Structure 1
Amino acid sequence: MLRIIWIACCIAFISNKAIAQQDPSEQVNQLISAEYNLSVLATKKGLLTAYQTFSDENTIFYTPAPTKVTDYLKNKPNLPDVMQWKPIYAKVAKSDEWGFTTGAITWQKVGSPKKYGEYLCLWKRDRKGEWRMAYRAISEHFEPYRKISVDFESPANNKYRKSRSRARLKQREDIILSTDQLYATILKADNKTAFKEFLTDGARIYIPGYNPVIKLDKIQAFLEKQDINIESVEGKVDRAYSGELAFSQGDAIIRQGNKVTKCYYIRIWELQENAMWKVSVDMYFAK
């Protein structure tokens, strides 16, 4: 038994060492390859097989409610016959064990109209160093998407402060939760101020029924023109081991005139040079 444990520890050490030594400029390419392989497998073997292959016991699918993949797939969900997607924005953490992809997606059941939307997937490496889906969601916008330029970002370097304390890691997650709470508080008071303070200049927002809007000034102009007001209630968070990327999820309400849409939201947070946390992807999808 001791020998088995020792071998397992050695394998984990070698795997983690290999990840740590990965050339930072190549890190995002491995993530994009995982996303590409997922889509190819879906085309060749079907979406169910692809999902099973690239998920693990911790994977959460928004269906639209957050659901463990083991519960979702064992109930033989009514998956689309055809689903195609392409990542257009992706980023990997310095620790190379945490990253996300997002982009346009279409899906269709035979005999039904094609549907359009944007997907967002948070990826994590498993114990063997393989990329596995952690969270995956789709925001439907009911119209063909427009072309958006591709932006895949690897970290400039892989230098970061390592922490082995669970208490310290929990404290770092609490920072994201409190920041998300503050964002929600200001959203309730004044959307325009909240966006200015908490969105990056190049942020993208996904609102159900609309194509993605990219860049802060365009987001502010769009939401004002469409008379859209957003409120959110924070839920859970996740953060890369290296600390500079994070994820939050929760409930939201989108008001547009007399129309009220109850939603879930997921956000990608990025640590700025001034040590402030800001949102680079803000996705909402109807319940």
Structure 2
Amino acid sequence: MPFHSRFSPVLWLSVTCSVLPLAGSQIVGSETVATDYHTLIQAERIFAAYGGQHSVKDAFSKFLADAYLFREDKFVRGGPFYATQSERPGRLTWRPTYARVAASGNWGVTTGPAEFHPNTAAEPPVGYGNFVTLWQKDTAGAWQVLYDGGISYATPASASEIIHPKTFPAKLQVLADTVALRNALQQTETAFAARAQTSLQQAYAPVLPKSGSELRLLREEAVPYVGPAAQRLATESTQAVAFRPFQTAVAPSGELGYTLGYLDFQQQRGHYLRVWQREGEQWKLALELLAAKLK
């Protein structure tokens, strides 16, 4: 059975960093995003617990109904896609080992290792990978998935547990000019794509964060690159890749955003996710997922 969204050919900077209010934003008393962070992790764990006991179709139909997935060379919504799929054997198990929420408290990401089991979750896994899920709270305050994707690789990644931050950013009232910030992010993405037609190396150069300790680069058939390993990969990636944006969005608090789109590399059609963070007036890369074989 082929892998599904969490292993298809596919955040945020550490929550321990301080988040400075953008112009026009207001700190809400002494409240932080700690509660939002923990409920986000719990939402992922509830999804994972259900997935371990139910089929991929059942679990993904339930939790990814409105989420974007990449299937059959295009982005689709999870609900309509899985409504047409037949049941197949196998179980996915996964767990978050990294999470972050925006300062608004209603946007977030979870990522971590996943395994595919041929029949039940009790059986030894036969496939490995890493998922990335973007989340947003609905009007009732419940976490809902915006996008779900991942990469696959041949051997299991080293075991790791999620390390919770000791401090959390102050929670911000939603007053950021997200229209202007989204336009700026689109310009950053367009410039990145233009440079990538020459090489990824050139595309990365102006957008790497000042502190690369939390930078994450995910590539198909490779365990995720984090921190210094990600920085090295960015400086050594000479491939020329064509990118075509599909969606751009900015968190209500204005300091985080993402771009989602298509990529083409040597006769391959895949997709990408880039998560961005603001440093001063510039958008810098926090996480990138390239769902294609780039070797």
- Does TM, scored on the shorter chain, surpass 0.5? yes
State the partner residue of 1:63.
71
**TM-score, normalization by structure 2:** 0.76
Residue 31 of structure 1, CA deviation: 0.2
Which of residues 128, 140, 147 is equivalent to 1:116?
Answer: 128
Q: Secondary structure at the match of 2:220?
A: coil
- Report whether the alignment pairs 1:173 with 2:182: yes
Code of the residue aligned with 1:265 in structure 2: it is: Y
Cα distance in 2, alignment partners of residues 130 and 21 from structure 1: 23
* SS of 2:135 mapped into structure 1: strand
Q: What's the C-alpha RMSD, in Å, of the aligned pairs?
A: 3.0
Counterpart of 1:253 in structure 2 is 264
Change (3 A) 1:226 1:23: closer
Cα 1:283–1:79, aligned 2, differ >3 Å: closer, same or farther?
farther
Report the Cα distance in structure 2 between the residues aligned to 1:113 and 1:85, rounded to whole angstroms. 11
Q: Is contact 1:88-1:152 (8 Å) kept?
A: no
Residue 89 of structure 1, aligned match among 71, 82, 98: 98
Percent identity, please: 19
Contact 1:83 1:107 in 2 (8 A): yes
Q: Does 2:269 align with 1:262? A: yes
Are residues 22 and 28 of structure 1, via their aligned partners in 2, closer, same or farther at CA, if it must alter by over 3 Å?
same
Q: Tell me which residue corresponds to 1:221.
A: 232
- Using the TM superposition, give the Cα deviation of residue 117 of structure 1 relative to its aligned residue in structure 2, in angstroms: 1.3
Give the unaligned 5+ runs of structure 2.
1-27
Offset of 1:262 from its aligned partner?
3.1
Do 1:252 and 1:262's aligned partners in 2 also have CA atoms closer than 8 Å?
A: yes
Is the alpha carbon distance of 1:224 and 1:246 closer, same or farther for their aligned partners in structure 2, counting shifts above 3 Å?
A: closer
Alignment of 1:66-215 (within 5 A): 66-77=75-86, 81-110=90-119, 114-148=126-160, 150-152=162-164, 155-160=168-173, 162=175, 169-200=178-209, 201=212, 202-215=214-227
Higher RCO (CA-CA < 8 Å; seq separation 6+) = 2
Q: Which entry has the higher C-alpha Rg, 1 or 2?
A: 1
The one-letter code of the counterpart of 1:238 is: A
Q: Match of 2:254?
A: 243
Q: How many pairs does the alignment contain?
A: 258
Work out whether 1:277 is the aligned partner of 2:288.
no
Identify if the C-alpha distance between structure 1 residues 264 and 207 changes in structure 2 by more than 3 Å, giving closer, same or farther: same
Distance 1:137 1:92 in 2: 18
User: Residue 120 of structure 1 contacts residue 136 of structure 1 at CA under 8 Å; is this kept in 2?
Assistant: yes
Q: Deviations 1:9-55 (Å, cap 9, x if unpaired)?
A: xxxxxxxxxx9996422221110000000111122344334333334
SS at match of 2:172: coil
Q: Distance in 2 between matches of 1:63 and 1:115?
A: 19
The answer to whether the Cα contact below 8 Å between 2:36 and 2:106 also exists between their aligned partners in 1 is no
TM-score (norm 1): 0.78
C-alpha distance in structure 1 between counterparts of 2:106 and 2:88, whole Å: 29
| 1:102-146 CA-partner distances (Å, limit 9, x unpaired) | 111111334997121111100111121111111001212233223
Distance 1:219 1:70 in 2: 34
Structure 2 counterpart of 1:232 = 243
In the TM superposition, residue 96 of structure 1 has moved relative to its aligned partner by: 1.4
